[in-house]
């Protein structure tokens, strides 16, 4: 950076103007001065003036640097103020966004609860509807069929009730589409809805004892379960298979799980975690029973072996006491000797 002091010093050195002009012979009192003394004096004066110029230049440079720093500081301050202002606006926007998000979450939770409640109501209504219905499988389809005329008379005979009574207790009857039935070319299932659960339970119980036959076709009767319930019960299949193997009676619980009697206690399993734990306990008990049976069998084997060994020793001792082995003639030979 070139200051004013630098410029003046350059001008002096270039000869544009000298602050200490060379003295003439008159200033020295008419005597010719020594050249070395003159040069030394001029160097001292030049050094003095140079120091003054350097100080002025440093002072001017410090002033310029100070002004630049003040200017830059002011610029930075303005930028920082703008950034702080932007940050403040962003904070306000974030706060507003958070508030809107919280409000939306509350509305969403409210809608979710309402939807869950409505779904629960639908499931309850569907369950009430299915609790009064049975599913009939195996009846061949015919064109323009009248299911009431084809199904109700043989079903009334199967249940030992009058046809009029069965018709009055029937709410509706229809076929349901099935992907499996369509792929395999099987007749679609029939859903028969009663007005109460009494006839439904009677149909299920009667079907356990004997099969319903309509027009030469064997008909199967099932409970009308939803797809969700079927999938849910399939998850309990390992436990139910083990209960059947151990001849433990059980029944399905609503909305989920099973109930059974085990070790004179009523056991309710209403989650998959409890099902796995109960199954583990049953397997552990089965293993313990197996180990006990093995120990009993081993002990019985040892006892029977000891008895057999003792019997063998007894026979051996009796053989040693047998006189017939000591005398080739045996007891009859001794009898002859006594007779003599």
Residues in the chain with pLDDT < 50?
1, 13-22, 25-26, 28, 316-340
* Other CB atoms within 10 Å distance of the CB of residue 57: 19
Cβ atoms of 150 and 214 within 8 Å: the answer is: yes
203, 234, 233: which is closest to 219 by C-alpha? 203
Enter the tokens of residue 91.
Answer: 């904070």
pLDDT of res. 116: 86
125, 243, 124: which is closest to 258 by C-alpha? 243
Sign of the torsion angle spanned by Cα atoms 160, 162, 163, 167? negative
pLDDT of res. 326: 42
| pTM to 2 decimal places | 0.49
- Angle CA 196–213–250, to nearest 5: 55
pLDDT of res. 129: 85
pLDDT, one tens digit per residue, over 48-103 is 888 888 888 888 888 888 888 888 888 999 999 999 999 999 999 999 999 999 99
pLDDT of res. 322: 46
pLDDT of res. 300: 64
Cα-based torsion angle of the residue sequence 267, 269, 273, 275 in order, rounded to the nearest 10 degrees:
80
157, 151, 152: which is closest to 187 by C-alpha? 151
Cβ atoms of 314 and 273 within 8 Å: the answer is: no
Tell me how far apart the alpha carbons of residues 278 and 287 are, in angstroms, rounded to a whole number.
Answer: 14
pLDDT of res. 30: 52
pLDDT of res. 191: 93
Sign of the torsion angle spanned by Cα atoms 238, 244, 247, 251? positive
Tell me how far apart the alpha carbons of residues 243 and 188 are, in angstroms, rounded to a whole number.
Answer: 32
């Amino acid at each position: 950076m070139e200051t004013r002091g630098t410029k003046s010093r350059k001008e002096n050195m270039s000869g544009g103007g000298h602050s200490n002009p060379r003295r003439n012979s008159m200033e020295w009192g008419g005597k010719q001065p020594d050249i070395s003394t003159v040069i030394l004096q001029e160097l001292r004066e030049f050094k003095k003036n140079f120091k003054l110029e350097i100080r002025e230049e440093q002072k001017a440079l410090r002033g310029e640097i100070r002004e630049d720093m003040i200017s830059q500081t002011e610029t930075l301050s303005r930028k920082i103020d703008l950034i702080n202002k932007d940050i403040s606006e962003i904070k306000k926007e974030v706060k507003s966004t958070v508030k809107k998000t919280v409000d939306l979450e509350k509305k969403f939770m409210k809608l979710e609860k309402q939807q869950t409640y409505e779904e629960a109501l639908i499931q309850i209504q569907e369950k009430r509807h299915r609790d009064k219905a049975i599913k009939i499988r195996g009846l061949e389809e015919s064109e323009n069929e009248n299911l009431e005329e084809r199904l109700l008379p043989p079903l009334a005979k199967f249940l030992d009730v009058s046809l009029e009574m069965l018709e009055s207790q029937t709410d509706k009857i229809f076929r349901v589409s099935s992907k499996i039935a369509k792929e395999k070319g099987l007749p679609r299932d029939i859903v028969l809805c009663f007005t109460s659960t009494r006839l439904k339970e009677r149909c299920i119980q009667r079907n356990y004892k004997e099969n319903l036959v309509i027009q030469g076709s064997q008909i199967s009767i099932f409970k009308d379960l939803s797809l969700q319930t079927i999938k849910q019960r399939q998850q309990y299949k390992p436990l139910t298979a083990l209960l059947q193997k151990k001849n433990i009676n059980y029944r399905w619980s609503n909305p989920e799980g099973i109930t059974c009697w085990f070790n004179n206690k009523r056991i309710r399993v209403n989650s998959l975690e409890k099902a796995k734990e109960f199954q583990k306990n049953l397997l552990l008990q089965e293993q313990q029973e197996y180990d006990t049976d093995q120990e009993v069998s081993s002990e019985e084997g040892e006892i029977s072996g000891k008895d057999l060994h003792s019997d063998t020793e007894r026979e051996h001792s009796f053989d040693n006491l047998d006189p017939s082995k000591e005398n080739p003639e045996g007891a009859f030979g001794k009898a002859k000797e006594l007779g003599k």
